[in-house]
């Protein structure tokens, strides 16, 4: 069984969609390379959690004061900063291969439209994007941090992940 075939159907669907919009030739070889890359990104995300005192949750309430880091099924990252005076700094990063979404977008005064749950899109009343692909993983800080400390941690981890994801993509594109 190929790596692509071992992935959940929802992930396979996203890989097929990304292949169409990336300029890569759709087909078994491309899907296999992208499946390997997707698993590498998943491993990078999980490693970043354990290495930075973050924990995975399946639900994040829109009214929560703390922030979160999100990995979508399509491999995008969303850094959702802690609430400060009812607003959050949110950053969306697509990591290069898709041409149907912005590479990155930031909104300094974001408002979540709904709670975040795995398998559901992240939606914003006001944000860097209106809606994401379904959420695969949500991570939050284990320790109670001040808003500036948490913002710095989430930004650092998301930037490191973005760099790691770019390196992973190079293996697919080359």
Residue 146 sits at φ, ψ, to 5 deg, of: -70, 160
Q: Indicate the angle between helix axes 28-51 and 9-22, nearest 10 degrees.
A: 110
SS3 content of the chain, % helix, strand, coil (to 5): 40, 30, 30
Average pLDDT (12-32) is: 85
Q: Which residue has the higher pLDDT, 74 or 91?
A: 91
What are the pLDDT digits (tens) for 28-48?
898 999 899 999 999 999 999
Q: Domain limits at 107? A: 1-174
Q: Does position 14 have pLDDT exceeding 70, yes or no? A: yes
Q: What pLDDT sits at residue 172?
A: 67
Q: Indicate the angle between helix axes 28-51 and 147-173, nearest 10 degrees.
A: 150
**Number of compact structural domains in the chain:** 1
SS (H, E, C) 1-41: CCHHHHCCHHHHHHHHHHHHHHCCCCCHHHHHHHHHHHHHH
C-alpha 2/C-alpha 47 separation (Å) is 24
Place of tokens 């995008």: 76
């Amino acid at each position: 069984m190929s790596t692509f075939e071992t992935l959940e159907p929802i992930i396979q669907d996203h890989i097929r969609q990304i292949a169409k919009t990336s300029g890569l030739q759709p087909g078994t070889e491309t899907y296999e390379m992208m499946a390997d890359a997707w698993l590498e990104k998943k491993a990078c995300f999980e490693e970043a959690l354990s290495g930075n005192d973050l924990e995975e949750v399946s639900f994040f309430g829109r009214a929560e004061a703390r922030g979160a880091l999100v990995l979508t099924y399509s491999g995008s990252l969303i850094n959702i900063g802690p609430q400060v005076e009812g607003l959050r700094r949110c950053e969306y990063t697509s990591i290069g291969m898709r041409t149907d979404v912005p590479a990155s977008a930031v909104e300094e005064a974001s408002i979540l439209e709904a709670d975040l749950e795995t398998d559901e899109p992240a939606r914003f009343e006001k944000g860097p994007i209106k809606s994401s692909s379904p959420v695969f993983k949500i991570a939050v800080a284990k320790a109670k941090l001040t808003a500036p400390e948490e913002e710095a941690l989430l930004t650092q981890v998301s930037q490191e992940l973005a760099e790691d994801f770019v390196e992973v993509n190079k293996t697919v594109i080359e």
